Structure 1
Amino acid sequence: MTLRAVVTGVGHYLPERVVPNSEFEKTLDTTDEWIRSRSGIENRHFAGEDDSTSSMAVAAAEAALADSGCTAQDVDAIIVATSTADLTFPSTATMVQAGLGMSHGFAFDVQAVCAGFVYALANANALIASGQARRVLVIGSETFSRIMDWTDRGTCVLFGDGAGALLLEGQEGQGTPADRGILATDLNSDGRHKDLLYVDGGSSTGTTGYLRMQGNQVFRHAIEKLATTAQTAMDRAGVTAADVDWIVPHQANIRIIQGTAKKMNISMDRVVVTVQDHGNTSAASIPLALSVGQQRGQIKRGDLVVTEAIGGGLAWGSVVLRW
């Protein structure tokens, strides 16, 4: 028997304010067509005055708990993937813990930018497999609209805000690819590429800073690294591209999504795409897409799902799981 980390609940939260591409035409030298053709993005959500990274994470977590039939009292640990924490410290995860009314267990953040949720899933899987926790809430939540340079048309039109959450529970499997739960993970980073995607603020500057990105260079790395990490995880899981029901990629750019699917020999009708509605929500994008994919009726129990993401660091990775 093998202990697997099985998804038992999923949920998400999106801020009320929807921002179409046309809104940027008022202040930037850009057009709806320019943004769509380069990114696939049509709309994104921006956090309101009452929204924070932690409050959105709480809302997504509550939705995942409701989907699972569990309560916060059934949860042993919380992992929040975010690059836009409410405060430098304490962790957003401890704020979520308090927001859910939990005074037991433990909570911590993971910072791997857009790859953060994949890293958080791998950590949750390890906690469950090692017996340190039975149920773990894994959340991605971001307020990237608050670290945008609104004069930089190459970045500010790409990002949005939101949160998504999964509840993972340890369940016995047979140790085969037919098991439900996380079957394999693969994590990577290369700090030599720091300058391709970063925020120019922090303790070294005493400022929050703004997001800076060399988009063409990130694109150059993305497709090869995403396809490679996905293949590595599939090999570890003992599955092939033909076995995959759904690719749920980080929703950064439709051209990256299409290019990665092509390199993996998987047709786009087996890819969950939400980038047109949400923009790039960094660590929130995969759990958001998983939740929306289930809501749409695309992802069903027993489906084989591959997630992959790349972000600042550079950091990238993938997870193979059976829903």
Structure 2
Amino acid sequence: MPVYSIIVGSGKYIPELIQKNENFYNRRFVNEKGLKIEKPVEDIVRKFQEITDIEERRYLSPELNTSDMAYFAAKEALETSKIDPETLDYIIVAHNFGDILHNNIKSDMVPTLASRVKHKLQIANSDCVAYDLPFGCPGWVQGVIQANYFIKSGDAKRVLIIGSENLSRIADPHDIDSMIYSDGAGAVILEAIVSEKPVGILCHKTRTDTLNEAHFLKMDISYHPEFEDNTLFMKMNGRKLYEYALNTVPTLVKETIDKSGVALSKIKKVLIHQANAKMDEAILQRLFKLYGEKLQDSSAIMPMTISKLGNNSVATVPILYDMIMKGELTGHQIESGDHIVFTSVGAGMNINAFVYLVP
């Protein structure tokens, strides 16, 4: 009988430090040319909230790091699933910047974060392979796709996939976009199941566009001409990113749904990466338009956390899933028999999605 991959446990870590929009009122924002933006900061922040819907975000405490968040999320996922950590075949940690000390903004990726998590979990099994996956914001979704390949091939029975990111420490304090970024971690355990009927991950699709899009997100020095050193911060071309996402994500998601053979009307939830609420709304509307349908109310099908949690990159989608599964997102439930789309877009430029049938 066919082998499928199902989620048997999930966990998350949401940092305790709340950074409200008002906390940015003392910032001096400059544009990409290094010129001070003359608008009152309060107006800049207000306009930012109108566009993104972000009211506040979470920042990691100084004594913690990205691998700590990954460990916390993994530990909760293991507790939820009630499985023995020694039975894990793979640990995949999606991230993009490794561990970053709060007072030393340099990426630390040796050993891998996955090895650090395995060490913290005290797993002795040497056949449990731990590796990292840098793939932009879609890293966690891609980790699930890779884990599904391992399970389908017979190479694995249980895989722990974690998305953990600390964006607050690589954000240029003089860049308006710094208000988007936040920190967090989410994790799931994928397990093999033998079933006559399709269940779990039904299909997936990934694309990478680099001909003209490779540098929409990149690392560069501060916009402020008098910044103290040449520290590299994450930079993005917001307008280009917005256009790219609207023109490509709906198409990829449609191709994935079509590949699954599931009707659009059967899709109960779309768990999408969140960097801009208006952009996600437009993506979902365009998806329905591709099917010749009009979406009346996106709030029922597309749960959102961005207003309170901001954009925590690879952690967004697994945190969303865990919150719903644990009844922490008002108005949203996931039940057996539901079809769910998981999708993300980000640096690369990369887009991916998979369709999941809840067992």
Do they fold alike, i.e. is TM over 0.5?
yes
Match of 1:300 in 2: 335
Pairwise CA distance, 1:264: 2.0
Pairwise CA distance, 1:304: 1.1
Q: In structure 2, which of residues 153, 169, 176 is the aligned counterpart of residue 146 of structure 1?
A: 169
Match of 2:144 in 1: 121
Alignment of 1:62-73 (within 5 A): 62-73=75-86
* Equivalent-residue separation in structure 1 for 2:216 and 2:77 (angstroms): 34
Amino acid at match of 2:209: D
Amino acid at match of 1:78: I
Matched, 1:46 2:67: no
Matched, 1:197 2:190: no
Alignment of 1:33-112 (within 5 A): 33-86=46-99, 87-104=108-125, 105-112=128-135
Match of 1:245 in 2: 268
Whether the 8 Å CA contact 1:113–1:311 is kept in 2: the answer is yes
Which secondary structure does the structure 1 equivalent of 2:155 belong to? coil
Match of 1:173 in 2: 195
* Equivalent-residue separation in structure 1 for 2:279 and 2:308 (angstroms): 16
* Equivalent-residue separation in structure 1 for 2:64 and 2:97 (angstroms): 12
Match of 1:18 in 2: 18
Per-residue displacement from partner, 1:122-163 (whole Å, max 9, x unpaired)? 10100111111100011100001111100001x100010000
Amino acid at match of 2:73: A
Q: In structure 2, which of residues 348, 351, 355 is the aligned counterpart of residue 313 of structure 1?
A: 348
Amino acid at match of 1:23: N
Pairwise CA distance, 1:208: 5.9
Structure that is richer in helix per residue: 1
Deviation >3 Å, runs of 4+: none
Per-residue displacement from partner, 1:246-296 (whole Å, max 9, x unpaired)? 000001110111011111225411111111111111111110111112223
Structure 1 residues not aligned, in runs of 5+:
202-206
Structure 2 residues not aligned, in runs of 5+:
29-40, 100-107, 222-229, 289-294
Whether the 8 Å CA contact 1:81–1:109 is kept in 2: the answer is yes
Q: In structure 2, which of residues 193, 206, 214 is the aligned counterpart of residue 187 of structure 1?
A: 206
Amino acid at match of 1:170: A
Pairwise CA distance, 1:35: 2.2
Pairwise CA distance, 1:175: 4.6
Cα distance change, pair 217–303 in 1 and its aligned pair in 2 (3 A): same
Cα distance change, pair 8–233 in 1 and its aligned pair in 2 (3 A): same
Pairwise CA distance, 1:72: 1.4
* Equivalent-residue separation in structure 2 for 1:56 and 1:211 (angstroms): 20
Pairwise CA distance, 1:322: 1.6
Alignment size in residue pairs:
315
Match of 1:290 in 2: 321
Match of 1:2 in 2: 2
* Deviation larger for 22-31 or 69-78: 22-31
* Equivalent-residue separation in structure 2 for 1:8 and 1:301 (angstroms): 13
Per-residue displacement from partner, 1:9-38 (whole Å, max 9, x unpaired)? 111001110111111112142444222211
Pairwise CA distance, 1:90: 2.1
Cα distance change, pair 171–198 in 1 and its aligned pair in 2 (3 A): same
* Deviation larger for 291-300 or 140-149: 291-300
* Equivalent-residue separation in structure 2 for 1:30 and 1:184 (angstroms): 46
RMSD: 1.7
